[in-house]
Amino acid sequence: MSNDSVVVPDTLGHFGPFGGRFVPEALMAALDEIDDAFHKAILDPTFIAELNDLLVNYTGRPSPLTVAKNFSKYCGGATILLKREDLNHTGSHKINNVLGQALLTKRMGKTRVIAETGAGQHGVATATAAALFGLECVVYMGEEDTRRQALNVARMRLLGATVVPVTTGSRTLKDAINEAMRDWVANVESTHYLFGTVAGPAPFPELVREFHRVIGKEARQQMLDRFNRLPDAVVACVGGGSNAIGIFHEFIPDAQVRLIGIEAGGDGVETGRHASTITGGAVGVLHGARSFVLQDDDGQTVESHSISAGLDYPGVGPEHAYLHHTGRAEYRPVTDSQAMEAFQLLSQSEGIIPAIETSHALYGAMTLGKELGSDAVILINLSGRGDKDVETAARWFGMTE
């Protein structure tokens, strides 16, 4: 079990053996600049007030905690509580981090933001903040993802962003990050790379975590206020890991609360066609940090597979690798078809259409509820809404004409 008195990350961005910075020298100055701006900002009452104002009056925080009475029956009768990040402006948790980083961009005097996106939710949130703050915005998105998340491509363009379909490699999130890094290294003077998850080189894993911690802070207080207790388990899907870290963090000192991250199992981990980086990967360096990576014996990245664009990534944030390493959190895979089953069940029992990413966490809670029984209380991070996924879902369920 972890020693909670150890502060992670250390000053070089290490979470135990994970994290750090593995980047071209050309980016070191920019990462130092972000690190410095970030640590100053979070101690500056003006910054905190500005961010809080945006979170309350623009995003609509705090997000509600919904008791999913009907969905409970698919979860062994356990009490199911949904932290409704889908109700945030732009439809997912991603906006929390984006508004924080957009304010930092202003403070650093940069005029252009770039972002990678998988499901398009981070891209939409970034395009939204860029519109609000008058920043130029370019979003890199794998060509495969522009197809399966076409609604979000249209949203980004309507918001005034340039969307660049990336045609290298697997044409998904990994390749979008590669392309964004190439842009950044060439334009770093004017440009902030508004990174969308708790992966990447230091300080991104820490910085993105801090901007998403609001999820867990609110949820923990809502639990205490309304139920006078903490949950038995907190469940969240893990792509890069930002919504999971955001809801987990406040509960880390509560040793009795299990923290369970759900990875995308694709066709099943045993088939090799999956995105379960911790379950099925090995320790390595990808996109600037040491963590778990899907890779072969030569250290070449292996392509990930998932029905969910937002989880279809062969890496994972270093703090998740650390939480796995210390045993504080557990990671389990959920396959495409299991996630789609949960997608349909939540939609039809609660009238809430979840993102396919989130549906992985929902299925994880179904399994966990059956394990723990009807006395259990399970908190799920409902990280996003499923509007962007209606086409994929309609095709999956054979509902297209």
Per annotation, catalytic residue among 276, 306, 308, 383? 383
- Output phi, psi for 304, to 5 deg: -90, 165
User: 326: burial class by Cβ within 10 Å (0-12, 13-18, 19+)?
Assistant: middle
Q: Out of ligand PLP, other proteins, none, which partner does residue 22 contact, by CB within 5 to 8 A per kind? A: other proteins
How crowded is residue 58: how many other Cβ atoms within 10 Å of its Cβ? 16
Place of tokens 């609509």: 60
CA-CA distance, 330 to 323, in Å (whole number)? 8
User: 7: burial class by Cβ within 10 Å (0-12, 13-18, 19+)?
Assistant: exposed
If binding is defined by CB under 6 A, does position 304 make contact with ligand PLP?
Answer: no
CA-CA distance, 84 to 63, in Å (whole number)? 5
User: 43: burial class by Cβ within 10 Å (0-12, 13-18, 19+)?
Assistant: exposed
Judge whether 117 and 140 are in contact, CB under 8 Å: yes
Find the binder of ligand PLP among 23, 119, 139, 321 (CB under 6 A).
119
Per annotation, catalytic residue among 63, 83, 116, 210? 116
The answer to whether 359 is a known catalytic residue is no
Find the binder of ligand PLP among 13, 201, 288, 310 (CB under 6 A).
310
Binding mask 9-38 for ligand PLP (x = CB under 6 A): ------------------------------
Residue nearest to ligand PLP (CB): 384
If binding is defined by CB under 6 A, does position 321 make contact with ligand PLP?
Answer: no
The answer to whether 63 is a known catalytic residue is no
Q: Out of ligand PLP, other proteins, none, which partner does residue 23 contact, by CB within 5 to 8 A per kind? A: other proteins
If binding is defined by CB under 8 A, does position 174 make contact with other proteins?
Answer: yes
CB of 149: closest distance to ligand PLP in angstroms? 9
Residues numbered 337 to 356 that lie near ligand PLP (CB under 6 A) are 355
The answer to whether 337 is a known catalytic residue is no
CA-CA distance, 385 to 66, in Å (whole number)? 14
Using the minimum distance from each CB to ligand PLP, give the nearer residue, 95 or 376.
Answer: 95
Tokens of 158: 């309507």
CB of 77: closest distance to ligand PLP in angstroms? 26
Gap between the terminal Cα atoms of the chain:
53
CA-CA distance, 88 to 156, in Å (whole number)? 17
If binding is defined by CB under 8 A, does position 169 make contact with other proteins?
Answer: yes
- 236 sits in which H/E element: strand 233-238
Q: Out of ligand PLP, other proteins, none, which partner does residue 174 contact, by CB within 5 to 8 A per kind? A: other proteins
CB of 134: closest distance to ligand PLP in angstroms? 25
Q: Which residues of 282-307 are buried (b: 16+ CB within 10 A; e: fewer)?
A: eebbbbbbbbbbbbeeeeebebbbbb
If binding is defined by CB under 6 A, does position 121 make contact with ligand PLP?
Answer: yes
Using the minimum distance from each CB to ligand PLP, give the nearer residue, 286 or 372.
Answer: 286
Contact segment (CB under 8 A) with other proteins among 22-30, 231-239, 258-266, 381-389 equals 22-30
If binding is defined by CB under 8 A, does position 138 make contact with other proteins?
Answer: no
Place of tokens 């008058």: 134
If binding is defined by CB under 8 A, does position 12 make contact with other proteins?
Answer: yes
Find the binder of ligand PLP among 20, 240, 280, 364 (CB under 6 A).
240
Q: Sign of the CA dihedral 316, 312, 366, 390? A: positive
Bond from prior residue into 64 cis (ω within 30 degrees of 0): no
Strand ranges in 16-62 using DSSP code E only, listed in sequence order: 18-19
If binding is defined by CB under 8 A, does position 24 make contact with other proteins?
Answer: yes
Residues numbered 293 to 312 that lie near other proteins (CB under 8 A) are 293, 295, 297-301
If binding is defined by CB under 8 A, does position 25 make contact with other proteins?
Answer: yes
- Name the CA dihedral angle for 42, 82, 199, 152, rounded to a multiple of 10 degrees: -100
Say how many residues touch other proteins, by CB under 8 A: 37
Which residues form the interface with ligand PLP (CB under 6 A)?
92, 118-119, 121-122, 197, 237-244, 310-311, 355, 357-358, 383-384
Which residues form the interface with other proteins (CB under 8 A)?
12, 20-30, 168-169, 174, 178, 181-182, 185-189, 282, 284-288, 290, 293, 295, 297-301
Q: Which amino acids are annotated catalytic?
A: 94, 116, 383
